[in-house]
Structure 1
Amino acid sequence: MRIAPDDLTAAARIRHAAIRCFAREGFQVGLRRIADEAGVSLGLIRHHYGSKEDLQAACDAHVLDLVATMQEQRVASNDVASTMMDQLLMSPELVVEVHYMVRSLGSGTAAARTFFDTLVESARVRLAEGVAAGIVVPTADEAARARYLTLTGMGGLMLAFGLSAGADPATVWNTYVADTVGPALEMYTDGLLTDPAALAAYRAATGAPSPPSGPESSQRPMND
């Protein structure tokens, strides 16, 4: 999934330059700086995108589409594990997109909240597809699970980049993958708690829904 800048349209070159600038310098960066990065005139940016806000919205849409595509690829793959590992070994261009997500979510703006909500909905849809495909365990509350996984995943990334301010984004990403993927996969696959009492108490106290009934929702046997 490498990007060949010479093959991109002017609008796409501007968008990718904006993603690089926003990721590297934050959303206070000006259009003139983005024009220099893209090698185009300021007028051409205004021709294609109008305003900085509209350009940021286009960047958001592009990155969210990329996330959805990668999620779809994992669900549809005949070899989910290999597809996931291929995606974790990101090209430098894709690491920039990840860094952009961190910048966007950390901006605290209305656009950031919309960005997060879109990530949650995309995760909910893909998890539901995973349940239907038999590769994800059903849950009593798909929306809550999607929100939790998005909060923990993106929150971890934000913390990783925040603690490594100024470091090479690819190094930050590779360290984050090394620190989190193995423990996360073990926990998601084998579970963490041996006693369901805490979950039962939480459901009783809050009225949270219980798992769906039926053979497809039966609990997996505990590992020896």
Structure 2
Amino acid sequence: MSRSLHDTANGTLFGIALNYQGLLEQRLSEFNAPPYQKPPVKPVLFIKTPNTRNTHEGVVTRPDGERLQPGPALGVIIGQRASRVSESDALSHVAGYTIINEFSLPEDSYYRPAVKAKCRDGFCAIGPSLIPASSVPNPQALTLKLLINGELVQENNTANQVRSVARLIAELSEFMTLEAGDVLITGTPEGRVDVQPGDRVDVEITGLGRLTNHITAEQESR
């Protein structure tokens, strides 16, 4: 992680689940069944704890006996405090954008906090650099690609997000203040895949570069 990104993106890591249309559509039958009866009407929020922070070229450990899934996501770094901001003004609170690989064990339910699935050491890779907001005129027109050992396995576009970056900032700042340095992980699209020890995992986002991580087995990292 570059020094500028490290210094700027030093706040809380807020993740947003179910923020791609395709993923939400895949789960509609589950959400419409008891006990929930309907899909979520507000952003499904989770937090990646500080121990999850990882870097470009960092190693990610697959826990023994578990499945490990990468999660390509656009990262939004808050540049100035945002409290009850309007959607039209929200992007003025953004310092810049970066690539995030939000690693997770498979999730059983979006209605329960998935701490054990999402908060393992090294499960949030960020980088390689911070791209200023002025260099990303439209954050809703970015292509995300996930490559495993050089092979393209997942591709989507931020145009398919349920909530835009601006809408996310507006809705979240309705009930909590976002501080400078906070990072919004704006969602992983449908089509998560498993990775194995020895794999190289790359995430590319239009204009933001490439974030690379290497998967190792638990016993190898001890």
Q: Same fold (TM over 0.5)?
A: no
Structure number with bigger Rg: 1
Pick the structure with more helix per residue: 1
TM-score between the two structures when normalised by the length of structure 2: 0.20
Pick the structure with more strand per residue: 2
TM-score between the two structures when normalised by the length of structure 1: 0.20
